[in-house]
Amino acid sequence: MQPSIISLLIAALFTENFVLVKFLGCCPFLGVSKKLDTALGMGMAVTFVMAIASLFTWCANHFLLEPFGMEYLQTIVFILIIAGLVQFVEMFVKKSMPSLYNALGIYLPLITTNCAVLGVTLLNVQNNYDFIHSVLYGTFAALGFSLAIILFAGIRESISEKEVPQCFRGFPIALVTAGLMAIAFLGFSGFSI
């Protein structure tokens, strides 16, 4: 049974938000969220890679691993596909869209170790999604990641101008903020169409 596209979208964006509910992709979420524009760039790059990665890993799993009964190699094959894709995307963006390349900077290669990307490809297999649902889930999950990181960057920008107790400066206050955001997202739980 495949879920409807709208329920997939709502789950990925709100009720099962990748960062705030599933804890996937926390490193870039905490690391690259100090400024709003870098957060935007990161969100775009991740969305791009996650959509393509879902597409390729589904094909690899369906046409290569399953026919030969080698599902146990999933982790290795998927991470290689992702690493290769990120490299390819980096070269492509550099050549055809230099302005975007400059905006994304070092965040492009870092996407390889973003666990949201490997996570979504593994979840696609776990949930037995077909081709279309895999690609859509990858895209929607990445949009959920972008939503969270952009909101978070907005809050962090204004926190940085406030007087925060010395021992809470930097990461601790960011983590507590993320926790409060997660509570807000918890309000969506149970919501489905």
Q: Which residues bind other proteins (CB under 8 A)?
A: 20-27, 30, 72-76, 79-80, 83, 112-115, 118-119, 122-123, 126, 165-168, 171-176, 178-180, 182-183, 186
C-beta of 77 vs 150, nearer to other proteins: 77
d(CA 164, CA 83): 39
Contact in structure between 146 and 43 (CB atoms under 8 Å): yes
Q: How far is the CB of 99 from other proteins (least distance, A)?
A: 26
C-beta of 40 vs 113, nearer to other proteins: 113
C-beta of 126 vs 158, nearer to other proteins: 126
Q: How far is the CB of 46 from other proteins (least distance, A)?
A: 13
d(CA 188, CA 193): 12
C-beta of 30 vs 36, nearer to other proteins: 30
Q: How far is the CB of 154 from other proteins (least distance, A)?
A: 17
- Sorted by sequence, the CB contacts under 8 Å of residue 192 that are 6+ apart come out as 7, 10, 11, 15
- Sorted by sequence, the CB contacts under 8 Å of residue 57 that are 6+ apart come out as 77, 78, 81, 82, 121, 124, 125, 134
